[in-house]
Amino acid sequence: MIHSIAVVVPILNEARSLPALLEGIRRQGRRPEEILIVDSGSTDGSAELVREWWGQNA
């Protein structure tokens, strides 16, 4: 039986570490079916960075 995989990533002002984290998720042997980014009100451009990354890797 194959189970689905979802990754939940809570963030708050994580723009500096997000690129490495998202690339690490993308490079897994079995990629998750869902990646849920929960932004708790970042003010450092984290949300914009995620949107840009998603547009390039969707």
E strands, the chain, are: 6-11, 34-39
Return the domain boundaries, the chain.
Answer: 6-57
* Structure tokens given for 42: 């970042």
Residues 6 or more apart from 39 whose CB is under 8 A from it? 11, 12, 46, 47, 50
Residue 31: what pLDDT? 87
Residue 58: what pLDDT? 61
Tokens 């993308």 belong to 26
| C-alpha–C-alpha distance, residues 32 and 40, integer Å | 22
pLDDT by residue for the chain (58 residues), tens only, comes to: 778 999 999 999 999 999 999 999 989 988 899 999 999 999 999 999 988 988 887 6
* Structure tokens given for 50: 């995620």
| C-alpha–C-alpha distance, residues 20 and 51, integer Å | 15
